[in-house]
Amino acid sequence: MLHLTAASTTNGVVQRSFTVNDVPGVLWSPEADVRAPLVLMGHGGGNHKLHPAMVGRARLLVTGCGFHVAVLDAPGHGERPPSAHDEAEIADLFRARAAGEPEGPIVVRYNTYLAELAVPEYRAALDELQQLAEIGTGGPVGYWGINMGTAIGVPLVAAEPRITAAVFGQHWPDELVEHAKKITIPIEFDLQWDDEHISRQDGLALFDAFASSEKSLHVNSGRHKDLPRFEAESAVRFFARHL
């Protein structure tokens, strides 16, 4: 059941908070009340639905393409209090980071757990959002998530035939390759050439696993957090081509 709050409008972008089965999300829309494609987004680990990266990407999609954009708080993130399990995993991640140990195994394990919870949440939200007249059923749907947004998005897209184009990037292949092999929609994938957490071999292996006949990889020099801002504009052009 979708509960929408009253809308606020800033510079031509209408923002509405919502909940679906108590999971909080945000929906951004153009002011013009016409049916348009929907892009679902997933935020990064430790962030939330109103992180500046989410707001900025939504604004590009709404003002540049006239699309609707929705994002959910992941379990244990944003308005959703962390469970004891979440807290233990985050403590283990901070412990590994402080000790200079690899973060990958912990992030992969924790994000796999979160994805199992989040995938049905996203599918239920999509069911409800498609009941809105300005989105509707049968229209194009995209998915955009990097880092933890990819850990959730790859199994989501593998399970969800309504999603027809996706932008992913910057995650390990371990738990995602088997899902990626089932994905045949157009993909844009980002990775960082000097990522201190994800090896080149691992990043390329995940890109390679997608069964999509149409897929693009964007590699940039720099470390994990240096993903250039122009890749967001590239993702918007990708969705404009495909949705």
Size of the site for its own copies (CB under 8 A): 19
The residue (of 116 and 194) whose beta carbon lies closer to its own copies is 194
Taking the complex as a whole, the smallest distance from the CB of residue 212 to its own copies amounts, in Å, to 7
Taking the complex as a whole, the smallest distance from the CB of residue 214 to its own copies amounts, in Å, to 6
**Interacting residues with its own copies between 151 and 210 (CB under 8 A):** 193, 204, 207-208
**Interacting residues with its own copies between 212 and 241 (CB under 8 A):** 212-221, 228, 230, 234, 237, 241
The residue (of 96 and 204) whose beta carbon lies closer to its own copies is 204
Taking the complex as a whole, the smallest distance from the CB of residue 158 to its own copies amounts, in Å, to 18
Beta bridge partner(s), residue 229: none
The residue (of 103 and 202) whose beta carbon lies closer to its own copies is 202
- Rounded Cα gap, residues 230 and 198, in angstroms: 21
Q: Is residue 137 part of the contact set for its own copies (CB under 8 A)?
A: no
What phi-psi label fits residue 76: left (phi over 0), alpha (psi between -120 and 50 degrees) or beta? Answer: left
- Rounded Cα gap, residues 58 and 147, in angstroms: 17
Taking the complex as a whole, the smallest distance from the CB of residue 217 to its own copies amounts, in Å, to 4
Q: Is residue 35 part of the contact set for its own copies (CB under 8 A)?
A: no
The residue (of 66 and 228) whose beta carbon lies closer to its own copies is 228
- Rounded Cα gap, residues 77 and 73, in angstroms: 6
First-residue to last-residue Cα distance in the chain: 26
User: Three-state SS across 136-176?
Assistant: CCCCCEEEEECCHHHHHHHHHHHHCCCEEEEEEECCCCCCC
- Rounded Cα gap, residues 30 and 11, in angstroms: 10
- Rounded Cα gap, residues 113 and 107, in angstroms: 10
Taking the complex as a whole, the smallest distance from the CB of residue 50 to its own copies amounts, in Å, to 29
C-beta separation of 150 from 176 below 8 A? yes
Taking the complex as a whole, the smallest distance from the CB of residue 236 to its own copies amounts, in Å, to 12
* Binding site residues, its own copies, CB under 8 A: 193, 204, 207-208, 212-221, 228, 230, 234, 237, 241
